[in-house]
Amino acid sequence: MCNDTKECPLGRLISREWDAMLGRGGITEEAGEEEVLGLLISHHFTWDSVKILEMAATALEDANYHRECECVLGLLREAKQTRRRKK
């Protein structure tokens, strides 16, 4: 893990994509790393709520935010149920 965001591969990706998104008008100058990364993740997972929630739960668990992780897991269960009902 890097402590300096600009030196990490993910940090460099976020910085590069921030510039590109700003140029396309996809974000404003006030957008933070969190917004850019969120957009990258949603596009990567093709707006699949189950995959996005699974990723978020993993990140929260890794950061020892267990209570918040449980909340996201509850949303994940609901998203999976909704998906099953649509089939």
CA distance 58 to 33: 19
The confidence band for 3, taking pLDDT boundaries of 50, 70 and 90, is low
17 and 24 in contact (C-beta within 8 Å)?
no
The residue behind tokens 């950061």 is: 63
Here the tokens at position 38 are 């969120």
- Is the CA virtual torsion 61, 63, 65, 68 positive or negative? negative
> How far, in Å, are 1, 56, 80 from residue 34 at the CA level?
18, 12, 25
pLDDT in tens, 12-53: 999 999 999 999 998 999 999 999 999 999 999 999 999 999
At residue 6 the predicted structure's pLDDT band, cuts being 50, 70 and 90, is: low
